[in-house]
Structure 1
């Protein structure tokens, strides 16, 4: 058993060697992949060393935070964080991968291997060994509402009024000719490795239509809309994909498995607060999530998903959503199956959220906060929804710097 497991990108081998040398000189037992013996199974050796180590020291650099060159490091960091053995080490000034913004890294960037830098790493390791993994930094308080304080009863009534207005509008529109968006939406639901909607701001009324969501090939989705328009003699001058995130095609299972359950055009999930900005002081953004279940929905689970394909079990059931009343996230519950609350993403770029609803609880569920790679999540969700009636809704939004 070693005190420390060292995770790093191969491109950072020389810098990692300086860290390993300094830690061993300080009296710590350390294991890294250069300790693998000839003929030894690499994967098994790494898994065993990680499981045995009291501390997994994760070297974050320009290559290790990249989904292509640093996938193994990110996976190892996730596993370490789950068991409370994670300590991040910032070798370069980089944005941490999604899910690690709440754990303050040891900042020695740009790390060149000087005695002082190595000494700072040794001191941080010593502190970790004494106190354990630091808890995530506290979420900032939600910003105060403009003007008078919000009356929760009024909010509940307003939500009810909006639902009623939407129902009236639905029945009034049923007899009207379908809009361009209504004609295009069913086709969007059939695109592999994509979850797309027509942008309500660019709905095609003026001949310009926009798409919003995520796709493995946004250009192909745009061409599909143009093909549909041509086949149905619709006047479409342009199709915008500026609001479409691109997912790595290798991570399609994270999108396709929920899409397999998708039956309705959506409406159960909304995010408000656009435009979304990352606060440089807190390293977090703020978004308001609204969930509205349909009459037949007996269960609900909320997930977070990134274009990298990593899926987080944010709120695995309705009890977890109700438990937000004990957190400072501005929870409002308006009747059964309707909630509003704040979330605080800690990274720039695209973020996806989706709900899975059904006529029964999920047959298999991961604990709140559990993180799964794309393919692993797809297998879990398929097993969890093997029987029963299910539906899913997904939205994507982008966080920018100010």
Structure 2
């Protein structure tokens, strides 16, 4: 039996691990493994630990509020009277707080009942509160917002985030290009307010933790409407503007700069890699779930664009392509990645097809092209980010 059962969504595993480690250092045994058998409500191990734990800490996040597993675990904990909600994002509890008779930890004040403080559960509540509030305060700022003026009379913004504790220059910076409309809507703290489910937006902290600086690029000020970047992704002017970001980062860090694009953002990355030269050119390029199959006859012509609309033969830097075997988005079939690779002059390249991920029915239609699907490597962020890191550092995925 463990003192604490930690309930969380798979996407929050990194943060769950940090809390588990912190609780362990305080002398509490923590069960936070997750081995789910398809078709069962609870795995026997989960059920056993859930029923025996003295406290059940439920991480409330943008991911967990959609997780049936977390909701079920929270319900069992509430019925036992051992639920400890720990909100790590600006969200409501995974379950109806009024129905369960619990409230999330407040951002001010501490438990006031001295007698309650002596119980294991109250101590876990206090420590989880302190840990999560410290994490929330540390994560309020996502990076420095850099604003660049372009020759097209609009501005281009990106968030620059160095790796934790980094002071020396000369490392590698990853320019992260989201898919969809490309408009991540950076706020004053450098945090994306849109496209939060995009795999690269989700993975920026993982790249930072792996020792990379990151630059999450927003759509230019003139391309923030419904279509966002739209047909501008294949435009030479778009490549030139990304070159401004790369050159600025190279000056700022005096290190290498790679471009990483996912889904429709892979078109932007390939555009930069194939058209830029000199200090504005990237040192390498990573394309994940790249759009490789156009949609002819679409109402908006730019919807038909793919990476094959670019001069791929001009890509002469290291190239990594990553797709998912379970990706059912018709625009990004993994089988076409080899064709992209052979069309370039990259001196070092690798094509990787990822498999696995959370069980469930395959999404269809436009839903299959969203970030929280195999197209966006849902549930596999850590694995994919680690593979990209190995390749960027000169190894193999």
Quickly name the TM-score band, shorter chain normalised.
under 0.3
Instruction: Tell me the TM-score normalised to structure 1 length.
Output: 0.25
Larger radius of gyration: 1
